Amino acid sequence: MITRRRFISTTAIAASAAILSPDVFALQEKKKLKNFGFISGIIGKELKGDWKAVLKQAASYGFTEIETGNFMGESADSFLAYLKSIGISLPVGGFEFKASEDELKKSMSLLKSLKVKYAVVYWPWYTGGPFTLEDCKKSAERLNYLGKVCKDNGLILCWHNHNKEFAPMETGLPFDYLMNNTDKNLVMCELDLYWVKKGGADPLEVMKKYPGRFPVLHVKDMAPGDAQDFECPGSGIIDFPSLFSEAAKQGIKHYFVERDNVPDGLACLKSSGEYLTNITF
């Protein structure tokens, strides 16, 4: 039988424990994305028309960031001013992995004019794959060099993965080779969650294996079925809540919607925006 004295005592102990352990309640709180963006290629066709109206429409869907390696309009400054007016920032832009020295200088100048933080190479390979150990050695050497070039220009280098990095080679996986043989202070990875899963790996385990190396995520969903086709986020089978929960633990701040071969870019952004605005994890 619970006496009045025992009830008061038990309640007091529980209250003290809650005060001493605020994480007990914090664990029950659901998080939401503070910011999310899109890669410009998803609406590449639409941007050939009235690009200002198209970007404003994207902003109305909740997007606050864009990933692009070039400006639209008269200049980088005017482009950035317009983006700011509609509440969109530009933290990520791309350049060519195999660029010549002259091309590399021009790319660095352009990305600096766009005031991006992360410079991405979308295909960090000299061949089309499948990749060999020798391919990996050449790519790792090049990535370390590009990482130094980017750092000297006030940028942070990221390389973008696809599924072929998860196809076994003579020893291990190309993905692991690049992660383990590039300077973690110079070379980061823009992790594409869809392509990791397409390659047969678990995106969550990959994130846990290399914490701190993924400042940017590409958020692309996978359609159900054997074809594993592309899908807009929220319309497929990828477990984004668990991935975003891990991302939050790692301090990842940039999430970019992408979908290859999209039939209607704006429609994809609209549905993705609704999903990412309301998702909790």
E strands of the chain, at which residues?
37-39, 65-67, 89-94, 118-121, 156-160, 187-192, 216-219, 221-222, 230-231, 254-257
Residue 113 pLDDT grade (very low, low, confident, very high; cuts 50, 70, 90): very high
Whether residue 10 is found in the same domain as residue 103: no
Whether residue 122 is found in the same domain as residue 211: yes
Whether residue 74 is found in the same domain as residue 21: no
Nearest alpha-carbon partner for 263 in 208, 211, 223? 223
Whether residue 190 is found in the same domain as residue 244: yes
Whether residue 122 is found in the same domain as residue 9: no
Whether residue 146 is found in the same domain as residue 49: yes
Q: Is the pLDDT of residue 65 over 50?
A: yes
Domain count, the chain: 2
- Tally the residues of the chain: 281
pLDDT digits (tens, 9 = 90+) for 191-223: 999 999 999 999 999 999 999 999 999 999 999
Whether residue 67 is found in the same domain as residue 110: yes
Whether residue 247 is found in the same domain as residue 140: yes
pLDDT above 70 covers a percentage of the chain that reads 90
DSSP 48: G
Nearest alpha-carbon partner for 192 in 243, 237, 145, 266? 243
The CATH number covering residue 162 comes to 3.20.20.150
- Residue span of the structural domain in which 11 resides: 1-30
pLDDT at 29: 82
Whether residue 23 is found in the same domain as residue 53: no
